[in-house]
């Protein structure tokens, strides 16, 4: 197996996903495109891809596992389904972007933010 084909399968899995994936979810999806791919290889390649800036790490407040998604040019937020555990990328105007650069009471200066919404995804709501 050639590393380029492994990375292509990993990137394809991330690009086809509706939101950021855990390494195990990447492994499950990428294995369909690249049989014989190992979980350790997925972890190793995700690290390399993150170092090179091809993927972004996502840390959700209620999870200890790092998630990964393709590097995006635009700022976005996430929705986490409390029923099935899937995480989705939201493509909506950011309601708190106006706070970036602001100084909050107490002297706190806002540099960046992340927003994760929690609830029930359309698939689970239909069940």
Same-domain pairing of 87 and 48: no
CATH number of the structural domain spanning residue 121 = 3.30.1490.190
Beta pairing, strands 67-70 & 108-109 = unpaired
| pLDDT for res 99 | 79
Same-domain pairing of 110 and 91: yes
CA pair distance 111, 50, nearest whole angstrom = 22
CB atoms within 10 A of CB 87: 23
Across the chain, which has 127 residues, the per-10-residue mean pLDDT values are 80 95 97 92 96 93 92 85 92 76 88 87 92
Query: What are residue 105's phi and psi, to 5 degrees?
Result: -55, 140
Do 18 and 89 contact (CB within 8 A), yes or no? yes
- Say how many domains are in the chain: 2
Closest CA to 57 of 15, 91, 90, 21: 21
Same-domain pairing of 13 and 56: yes
Same-domain pairing of 60 and 82: no
Picking from 23, 48, 70, the residue at the C-terminal end of a domain is: 70
Which residues form the domain of 26?
3-70
| pLDDT for res 1 | 44
In the chain, alpha helices (H): 3-16, 23-33, 39-51, 122-126
């Amino acid at each position: 197996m050639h590393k380029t084909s492994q990375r292509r399968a990993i990137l394809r899995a991330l690009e086809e996903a509706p939101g950021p994936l855990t390494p195990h979810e990447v492994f499950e999806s990428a294995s369909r495109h690249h049989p014989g791919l190992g979980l350790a290889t997925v972890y190793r390649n995700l690290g390399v891809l993150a170092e090179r800036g091809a993927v972004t790490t996502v840390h959700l407040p209620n999870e200890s596992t790092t998630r990964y998604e393709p590097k995006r040019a635009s700022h976005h937020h996430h929705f986490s389904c409390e029923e099935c555990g899937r995480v989705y990328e939201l493509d909506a105007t950011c309601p708190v972007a106006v706070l970036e650069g602001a100084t909050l009471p107490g002297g706190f200066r806002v540099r960046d933010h992340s927003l994760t919404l929690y609830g029930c995804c359309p698939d689970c709501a239909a069940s």
